[in-house]
Structure 1
Amino acid sequence: MQQPEATVTAAPLPPNEADRLVALHRYGILDTPADPRFDRIVALSARLLDMPIALVTLVDAERQWFKARQGVDLAETPRDISFCTHAVSDGSMLEVPDAIQDARFIDNPLVTGDPGIRFYAGAPLLDENGHALGTLCVIDRKPRHLSEEQRALLSDLAGMAQDAMQLHRALLEAEQARADAEYANRAKTNFLAFMSHELRTPLNAVIGFGELMEAEPFGPLGSPRYQHYAGMIVEGGRHLLEVINAILDLTRIESGKFALQREAMTVGEEVAVVTGLVRVQADAGSVALALDAAAVGALPMISADRSALRQALLNLVGNAVKFTPAGGQVSITGEEREGWLRLIIKDTGIGIAPEDLRRLGEPFFQSGPVMARRAEGSGLGLAITRQLVALHGGALDIASELGKGTTVTVSLPLA
């Protein structure tokens, strides 16, 4: 069908035309592919009102574009011959019972030519600020009148079309927000990885020279107290290096660059190794470290990354010992239940407040009073542990009561 040329005077522009166009383009819906939500609305409109033509139109600066159409082949027409422009201009429903009896449309090429409009009714699509963005309209090739009930129905159907537009905009904004968040997360990850890498080289030099100074029998400047200062430099440097390495681990996991090297392994053996490594720390703090060797040793083999699993267990058992006062106890046991292997680490330590428990595992978050943290750690260990367990398809559950201790359960799938 050939697009007709304009031979009539267009409707006057709405007083808020500039704002209306901004509002329309904010939806990001012009020239988008067909959408079944809108197609169903025009089909329903044509059927309920017994019309051969139904359209969802959007009126741009120079044209009216059809988001959905039934009964015509055109995708758009010039604005100046558009019936819908009059409804947009008034911001209210427009009904033309007989176009050839209406001075505004008698010479309109859409009336004198294809599609031969005689009857038109259009309800404006109003956004939340009252801008008329287009219409839901129905058209017939013979004169007609709508009853009050039919006008109300057309208005309701136009509301459905506007709701569909709102949903389209919301989905578009959500997709943009997701893309922005992904970009920001990639930028953060790349920045942290770069900075962590660049910091390790000079930091290793600081630690190395600090160790040389600490090894001097009477201190580098002839006084034993400088030997103590050197020891503090080394201790601080090692702690900072641990933080940098943890950041690198976390960024690798978050960026998807941490690949598990799975192998068949006995969890009991790894728990025994971890217990041995942490026992020195426990003994130094007068904390009893109890391993239920029988229960843990009876656990079946699983497929896991040995290094990643050991790191996770070291973080959990080490934390339990660190936050348990002298005279307390940390116990480790295990069980197999319904296709899952569970390791349970329980301590009689300071516990975690409910408001902190909700945030536990967030990077850099540390629970409890500042003094209770013993000025150790970065808050990254648990975040990394949770990620490592999740990479294995497992889960980390933490139950705690302030002043009474904490129980951490590591669940790993057997299959």
Structure 2
Amino acid sequence: MNGVMPMPANELERLKALADLDLDYSSLNDNLKNLSKLAAKIAGTDISMINLIDSFTQWTVSNYGLDLDQMDREDSICQYVVAGGQDVEVPDLQLDERFREKDYVTGDPQVRFYYGVPLQAGNGVHLGALCVMNKQLHQLSPEKIEMLRIIADEIVNRLKAMKVIENMRVKISEANENQRRVAHDIRGPLGGIIGLARIISEQGDENTMDEVLEFIDLIQKSGHSILELADEILSIDAKANETKLAANEFNQITLKEKLIKLYTPQAVNKKINFSVGTCANTQTIPFLKNKLLQIVGNLVSNAIKFTPADGFVKVELLIGGQEGKQDLKIAVTDSGVGIGNEKIQQILSGKGESTDGTGGEKGYGFGLALVKHLVEGLKGELTIISQPGTGTTFEVSLPQGAKPAK
């Protein structure tokens, strides 16, 4: 191979479109597995995969016939589908100089045939590919190819529908929060009414107005009933919050679990120690999960890329901030090659260009630009601390609003 990796002309726009879907790559299989299986059955192949491609990684979000979650982007075949924006067929991978030395050709599962269809999100943006592969030489009829394209369209429709559903869940969560606030609001005045009714009731003998006292007694009982209802609503809401986050929330524990699951394979493959730390005092405090997996994921992948074997990549999570507000603080630190001040300024100005990683990984130059774009979109700040040869720390601070009342 000549080492030149294919890249779409609209790569940054493509990555932004993928980030806007705000997908958790580890949780899509249940919604897509019937489509990946259908693709293999229609094509008559051993394997089918639904692959989404970000700056560094090909994420296999659903597959049939091959247990695979991810691979480096530069090793994938589907990157050529995304780069060209059209179907790609490789009749015999063993004869193609781009792929004949890849592990999936020389070793298990020893794939020979490949056909990939782009996942088109519109406006010339391609999120990834639906591909079918076979361990023996194979051919697809025009009718089967057309059916694969229909399945690819349905995959994109489902991804978009999942985003809509997620937005609806957020609105429902907000409605529940409004219910909680209403309950809080009515407790105060109702408590006052009950207290007033009690005082009048205690002084009732002086009034000698039996009808009034009976009426006040009814008010008191009604007030107690409403107050109990408010307490019940608050109690149910509090118990729910103890065990379940809102639809649009993570806490440090859940974010740590996601990062470990998604990025440990990349670190293990390169013999790098990958860890995620949380702050015990704040690890259960919820925060908005909007674009977090895209932001932290790109920083982690970038750190792994520029860290040599036996090094480390560490993520630290913290909730903190100044009086009256709280920020989610994320630090991604590596023991890699480091970055000079000129390069840092290029990245922060959105003009940085990536280079090859320590293991020969090919740079695409858009991962950190996407991070900067996403952080700015969330009104946050990105800071880079590094010197050549000393490793790098990327610090992200994202505002989360007012601190909750104690």
Q: TM-score, normalised by structure 1?
A: 0.46
Structure number with greater Rg is 1
Q: Which has the higher contact order (CA 8 A, sep 6+)?
A: 2
Q: TM-score, normalised by structure 2?
A: 0.46
